[in-house]
């Protein structure tokens, strides 16, 4: 899948029955939750429930495929916005199409609300994808390196998901028809402070980080302080990037 809203068939592979079932499942989970009947997904995809099992083996297999597609869309969307040269343009395009990402957002919210192993599976996949695209952005000089890249990725994922959960806890869970407008309003509310916080350091004095880092034992996940004043050097031709 490309970094476009789920269901916007843009490649030949997304015209296959298997992909059609997957996209229908994402939409139906967003609408009804993880316990949506297979027959409802089948009706949305225009296939039989037996054909779903033929392609995916089980409900768990289908959900795993949906997770992979959702994580790919989110990862490519974020990565496009963090690449040198076109990041701002990519962000503007994504914002103009933001309602189209509602099925992906709804799917993630439903998985979070369900809890359990499927939630853990999705969150872990999002953390892994986030760490990967941040590593690429560090190499490209667009993101500062981290003392704890995996922990930073997990924090970013948990903050993003937690913010949406708080929003639906206070606003009420939107229906599938209400979700595009809800996601537009939520994005409009958070993007300015979020981009500001990630672009301009919130703390002007690094002493808190330095004090905490110096207090950690050798077995802690942190490493010695990194100088963030300069972007990492771009690898010379033939030199392998440490993030590849």
What is the C-alpha end-to-end distance of the chain, expressed in Å? 21
The structure tokens listed for 146 are 């981290």
Residue with tokens 């015209």: 15
What is the CB neighbour count within 10 angstroms for residue 25? 26
Average pLDDT, whole number, for the chain?
A: 85
Residue with tokens 């703390």: 203
Q: What is the CATH number of the domain that holds 147?
A: 1.10.357.10
Q: Residue 222: is its pLDDT beyond 60?
A: no
Q: Residue 230: is its pLDDT beyond 70?
A: no
Q: Say if 168 falls within a structural domain.
A: yes
Q: Say if 238 falls within a structural domain.
A: no
Q: Report yes or no: 181 and 159 within 8 Å, Cβ to Cβ.
A: no
DSSP state of 35: T
Specify the pTM: 0.78
What is the span of the domain harbouring residue 40? 12-201
Q: Say if 211 falls within a structural domain.
A: no
The string of pLDDT tens digits covering residues 58-91 is: 999 999 999 999 999 999 999 999 888 778 898 8
Per the structure, the count of domains in the chain is 1
Q: Report yes or no: 239 and 149 within 8 Å, Cβ to Cβ.
A: no
The string of pLDDT tens digits covering residues 109-163 is: 999 999 998 899 999 999 999 999 999 999 999 999 999 999 999 999 999 999 9
Q: What are phi and psi of 14, to 5 degrees?
A: -85, 5
Q: Say if 100 falls within a structural domain.
A: yes
Residue with the bigger pLDDT between 135 and 5: it is 135
Q: Say if 182 falls within a structural domain.
A: yes
Q: Say if 46 falls within a structural domain.
A: yes
Q: Say if 214 falls within a structural domain.
A: no
Query: Dmax over Cα atoms in the chain, in whole Å?
Result: 61
Q: Say if 44 falls within a structural domain.
A: yes
């Amino acid at each position: 899948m490309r970094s476009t809203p789920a269901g916007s068939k843009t490649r030949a592979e997304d015209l296959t029955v298997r992909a059609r079932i997957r996209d229908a499942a994402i939409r139906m989970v967003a609408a009804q939750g993880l316990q949506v009947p297979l027959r409802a997904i089948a009706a949305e995809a225009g296939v039989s429930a037996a054909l779903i099992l033929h392609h995916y083996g089980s409900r768990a297999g289908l959900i795993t495929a949906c997770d992979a597609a959702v994580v790919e869309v989110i990862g490519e969307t974020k990565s496009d916005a963090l690449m040198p040269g076109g990041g701002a343009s990519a962000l503007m395009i994504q914002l103009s199409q933001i309602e189209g990402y509602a099925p992906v957002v709804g799917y993630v919210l439903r998985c979070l609300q369900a809890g359990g192993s499927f939630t853990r599976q999705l969150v872990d996949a999002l953390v892994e994808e986030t760490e990967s695209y941040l590593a690429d952005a560090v190499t490209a000089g667009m993101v500062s390196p981290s003392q704890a890249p995996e922990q930073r990725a997990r924090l970013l994922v948990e903050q993003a998901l937690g913010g949406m959960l708080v929003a639906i806890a206070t606003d009420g869970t939107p229906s599938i028809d209400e979700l595009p407008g809800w996601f537009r309003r939520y994005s409009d509310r958070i993007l300015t402070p979020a981009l500001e916080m990630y672009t301009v350091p919130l703390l002007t004095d690094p002493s808190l980080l330095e004090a905490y880092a110096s207090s950690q034992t050798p077995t802690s996940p942190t490493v010695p302080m990194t100088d963030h004043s300069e972007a990492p050097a771009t690898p010379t031709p033939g030199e392998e990037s440490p993030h590849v």
